Every structure is written in structure tokens, then in C-alpha cells.
Structure 1
Amino acid sequence: MSDFLQFVQANGIIVPDTFVPGRWIRCKTVSHPRKRNGSIKLADDGLVGWCQDYAVHAEPIMWRSTDAEAMAAPIDRALIARRQAERRAALVEATQGARAYYERCTPLRDSHPYLIEKGLGVAGCVGLRVDHEGALVVPMLYNGKVLSLQRISADGTKKFHFGATTKCAYYAIERPRATLTVLAEGFATGLTVFNAVPNCRVMVAFNAGNLPVVAERMDRFAMGVVCADNDWETAARIGRNPGMDAARAAGGLLGVGVAAPDCKGTDWNDYAMEQMEVAMEGQEFSFSRKKTVLQVQADVFADIKLKVMREARLMRAK
């Protein structure tokens, strides 16, 4: 087991004090030490293990034991089969629970504190709901069916539905007769780009590791672009930029360019909010006619559109 733990640590996962073989365990990561943004799993027989930092890895990374004594030990196949069946049943139960939870929620009306904080309206928020605690509920879909949910509180805290898978899940912000498909990491990023680029539809992948997974399964429309999160602070800390790496991998699968913001934050919503703040402050010292917030926002959105469209390409056929 010590070899497995060394493997996990080498891939940026902070090992928990205790964990049980045979099931996935959520862990903190070096890239996001305040969040349980990674998972590890050691097989029941102790011979194979996996780890995944969702901000870095599109798929779990496999480890295999080289311990000859462990490999020679007898394997209880009946126990392994029973545990696998239990885990499959738990996943089905969690997915059904997510769907039931979503049905109990109230359709989003008017707006939500999270959207207001991000400077966004409800355009494009089809299917969003609000739960009994006031959290915004975003359905995570696959083939049009709910796989899981992302709950976003008023202060921006995000949680996925416990036990339900997020792999392959997406949220589609559709627009009739769209000529450009945008793949984005986060919901606020996707909605910002949707508002800034009038001819686009947006696919939200929810985390960096899911970007290439969603890209591989996307329908191919005429034009496409990946709008990346620029995790420059993480890059300075660990030597790699998870958001950009995942976006480039997704862009390579689709054959399209990657549009990344250059700002103090990480994503295109951060860029929009920063640019609007600078523009509004600049008006205090100007003798020219003052612009309204909507006029300033229109200018910022036009800037985002230009930067995004520069990276748009014809998508590669499957």
C-alpha cells in the first residue's frame, strides 16, 4: 500500500489519514488544497489503484503493484464481485436521488444572488432551479438525462450531488440557429460567453478534467472554440496550469483554438467583471458623456466576443 500512496502523492493528491480499499475516496489536492478536488481508489485485491485530480486529469491514472508477495496472495473473487455490485447499486441510487432532488426544486424565476454577484441575468438559464435552501441547482446531463447536480449557494460555494457521477456530464446553453459551439469549464464562464457572443451555443463541462471527456462526445457543428480557465496562480504554485492543459487537450480533440482570459482572476466572468470595474472607475475622471452600466457591459462583451472569435475554427469531424 505504501507504493500506492507514494504514487498518489506524486500525482498531486493529498492522502487522507485513512481510506477503505474498494471504493473511491474524495481527497484534497495540491492544486486545490482547500477543496476535495481529487479522488483515489485502491482495488479490493490491493494490486491496482487509481487517482484523479479533477483539475488536472481527464481520466483516472492507473497504478499497478510490483510487490511479488502481494501478487501471489489468493484473491477472493466472490468478495470482489459482491463489492462491485454494491457500488453499482449505490451509483444507480445516487443518480436516481439526484433526479428526484431536481424534481423537488422550484424553477428559477427572475434571478439569483449568485447570478447577480456575477453580473449575469437569466438569459440562457433554461432548466435551472432553486432548492429549499435557496441554492441554484444546475442539472448535469448526459444524453438529455440528469446524471448529477451542481448546487451553487449565494456565496458561490459549489457542491455536486453526493455519490452521483460527474464524468461526461454537461449543461447545454442552447440558442436557435447558433453557428458557433463554445466548450467552457464553469457555469458562470459559459453564461458570460453566451451573453457576449450572440451566435453561440455553450457546453459547460463543470471541471477541467471533464473538458476533454465532453469534447470527445460532442456533436460536431460548423465552428467551435474552447474557452479556458487560466489557472495562473496554480501554475505558479505547482508548475502546471490545469485549466489551460485541459482546454488545449479538448481543443486538440475538436481541432479548434483556445481562448483564455488575461486577468487577475481565472475565467471569462472574472475578466468581464474586472474590465467593467476599470471602465466604471475611469469615468469618474472623464469629462466626456458618462456611459450606463449596460453600455459599459456591452463594450466589455464586444471585447470578449472579439477575443473568443479569434480562436474559433472549423471543428474536426469525428
Structure 2
Amino acid sequence: MSGFLAFIGAHGIIAPDYLTPGKWQRCRTENHPRKKNGSIKLADDGQVGWCQDYAVHAEPLMWRAGRASALAAPLERGLIARRQAERRAALAAATLSARSRYAQCAPLRNEHPYLAGKGFGVAGCHGLRVDAAGALVVPMLCDGAILSLQRIAADGEKRFHPGATTRGACYVIERPGATLTAFAEGFATGLTIFHAVPACRVVVAFNAGNLPVVASARRPAGLAVVCADNDWETAARIGRNPGLEYARAAADLLGVGVAYPECAGSDWNDYLMAQLEARAAALRPGLRHGRAILQMQAGVFAEIKHKVMREARLVRPM
């Protein structure tokens, strides 16, 4: 193990207090001593290991026990500075590219297949656009400026703009006079909460890991709640539920509660669609008309509102 620790030290990784073989561990680096900007992993048998400083290494570096060549030469500070400058330049170029792409898209004016499939029209979709291929384009903003885009195809496939950062970016479904701020992971989840809870604005963070970042940056006054995805299938596979884990981290920052669905899917739109399907199946065919569907939708929205409001709290003062 001492050889592996010497190896990671030679590559600018600051060893953690405890080493856990068989698992990747995030670590501080000499380049960024206040951030865990590196990763290490030592195999269970202690004979092979890997490390990566994300500011320097494009791929993980491998160490093997007993190989003298495993140790690196002293860190090249000039190389680190060049790599950092290259990354900043690439990020700036990707951000400008995202803004240019957004400008080339047409405003969303009518129903979109993705939205229709989720049970919605264009209400709550201010600023959304459609690209030349017909995909929905959602601007990802920070302080009013576009950092990246989320492109959503008609079949629901989602992609972020290549190379652009998503950290701290969000999309706000605003409502004048809102008395509650709800933080959500995905756009369809955000629209579901927006329609179900008449008094709320919704902040969409786009991915679970971004929820605590966005909640901290956009700390609201008054009532707030975090509307989580319930990744129970992921938890069954890996023993962790990222949706709930990051949502609780965001909620802890604000001092508010977490509302999450319990259904075959994972998010609040899955809950909405499953409830509508189940209720429609229980109706006689002759009663499956527009008014009945609207009444069922109103009933499900009322259930969602009750579950969300039950977890709403006043945001804890700083």
C-alpha cells in the first residue's frame, strides 16, 4: 500500500485519511487542495491501483505493485497551468456555442410531442424553443445567462449541449405571486408540480447532483420544498437512491422537507401518468370522455398537491 500512496502523491493526489480498497474515492489534490478534484482506487488485492487529477489527466493512470516505473516525475506546474487554461477556453467556447444554438432555434408556440406525452401543453414553458430536428430545447440558466441547453427529442431522449457546464444551471417555471418555491430534478417533474400546486414556482435543476448546488445558489425566502425523484430501481441495483440522497442534501441546506412519489416509475410525472391510467381503466368505456379525463387529472393533481404541501417548510435563515 505504501507504494500506491507514493504513486498517487507523485501525481499530485493528497491521500485520504482512510483508504477503502475496491472503491473509487474522491480526494483533494495539490492543484486544488480545497476541493476533491481527484479520484483514486486500489484493487482489493492491493496489487493494482488507479488515480486521476481531473485538472491534469484525461484518463486514470494505472499503478502496479513492484514496478519502479510506476512513479511519475515531479509535477510540471506549467503543464497544469496550460491544461487549466485549455479547459477554461473549451468551456467558454461550449457556452458560446450553446447560446448560438439556442438563438438559431424557433420559439415553442404549439403543442410538442414530448409535452403531449407527459400530459401537458405549453403552459409553464416560457423561453423553450424547438430545433431544426423538432426536438424541444430548454435553456439552462445561471443569473439570467445561458450556460447550456437540454435537448429533448419527441421520444424523451435527453442530451445536454456538448462540453458546456450544467453545474449551477437551472430553469425556473415562474408564477407571479407564488408563495412556495419547489425544487425539482427534471423538466417534466417540474411541469407536473407547477400544474398540481397553483401557488408555486418551480426551479428545475436537470440532474440529482445539481439539486444541492442550485438550492444553495437560489436560496428562496418563505416556503420551499424539494420534490425528489425516487430512484428505487437504482437503489435495488447499487444500494443507493441518488434521487432521494441529493434531494435530502438540498433540503438540509434549506431546512425544508422532501416530497417523493411511490409508484412503478421514479418521478412525479410517472406518478401522474400511472394514476390517470389506473383511473381511466376503472371507468366504463362510455364514460371515457374529455370531461371525465379532466376530472381525473384534477383529482390526481389534488393528491400531488397534498403530498407536496405536507413537506413544505419555511426556509431556515442563514
For the aligned pair, the TM-score class normalised by the smaller chain equals 0.7 to 0.9
Q: 2:23 aligns with which of 10, 34, 56?
A: 10
Partner of 2:223: 223
Counterparts of 1:245 and 1:178, CA distance in 2: 27
Structure 1 partner of 2:77: 77
Asked whether the 8 Å contact 1:220–1:316 carries over to 2, the reply is: no
Q: Deviations over 1:214-253 (max 9, x none)?
A: 1111132210000000000001111111100111111100
* Contact 1:147 1:165 (8 Å CA) reproduced: yes
Contact 2:108–2:128 at 8 Å: present in 1 too?
A: yes
Distance 1:249 1:191 in 2: 22
For the residues of structure 1 that align with 2:289 and 2:86, how far apart are their CA atoms? 67
Equivalent residues of 2:55, 2:84 under 8 A apart? no
Q: Name the residue aligned to 2:313.
A: 313
Distance 1:155 1:41, change over 3 A: farther
Distance 1:86 1:8, change over 3 A: farther
The letter of the residue matching 2:169 is A
CA distance in 1, matches of 2:191, 2:116: 12
Aligned residues: 275
After superposition, the Cα gap between the structure-2 partners of 1:122 and 1:224, relative to the gap in structure 1 and judged at 3 Å, is: same
Q: Residue 111 of structure 1 aligns with which residue?
A: 111
Aligned partner letter, 2:237: R
Q: State how far apart, in whole Å, the 2-side matches of 1:43 and 1:131 are.
A: 33
User: Residue 144 of structure 2 aligns with which residue?
Assistant: 144
Compared CA separation, residues 77 and 305, structure 1 to 2 (3 A): same
- Residue 33 of structure 2 is matched in structure 1 by none
Percent of matched pairs sharing the same residue? 61
Point out where structure 2 has 5 or more consecutive residues left out of the alignment: 9-18, 27-36, 38-50, 61-66
Corresponding position of 1:279: 279
Structure 1 residue 169, shift from structure 2 partner = 0.4
Partner of 1:194: 194
Alpha-carbon distance between aligned partners in 2 of 1:265 and 1:228, rounded to the nearest angstrom: 12
Matched residue type, 1:105: C
Residue identity in the other structure for 2:105? C
Q: Is 1:96 aligned with 2:107?
A: no
Task: Name the aligned partner's letter for residue 255 of structure 2.
Answer: G
User: What's the counterpart of residue 178 of structure 1?
Assistant: 178
Q: How does 1:17-36 map to 2 (within 5 A)?
A: none
Partner of 2:283: helix, strand, or coil? helix
Q: Is contact 1:283–1:290 with CA below 8 Å preserved after alignment?
A: no
- Residues 69-102 of structure 1, C-alpha deviations (whole Å, 9 max, x = no match): 8777322222221121111111000000000100
The higher relative CO (CA closer than 8 Å, separation ≥ 6) is in 1
Task: Return the alpha-carbon distance in structure 1 between the equivalents of residues 76 and 289 of structure 2.
Answer: 78
Q: Tell me which residue corresponds to 2:53.
A: 42
Contact kept? 2:256, 2:312, Cα under 8 Å: yes
Q: How many angstroms does 1:290 deviate by?
A: 9.5
What residue is the counterpart of 2:133 in the other structure?
133
Structure 2 Cα separation of the partners of residues 180 and 170 of structure 1: 17
- Residue identity in the other structure for 1:307: K
The answer for the alignment partner of 1:169 in structure 2 is 169
Alignment check: 8 A CA contact 1:185 1:208 kept: yes
Alpha carbon RMSD of aligned pairs, Å?
3.2
Residue 252 of structure 1 corresponds to 252
Choose 1 or 2 for highest CA Rg. Answer: 2
- List per-residue Cα deviations over 1:264-293 (Å, max 9, x = no partner): 000000000000001111112899999521
Contact 1:193 / 1:304 at 8 angstroms: preserved in 2? yes
TM-score, with length taken from structure 1: 0.79
Question: Secondary structure of 2:208's match?
Answer: coil
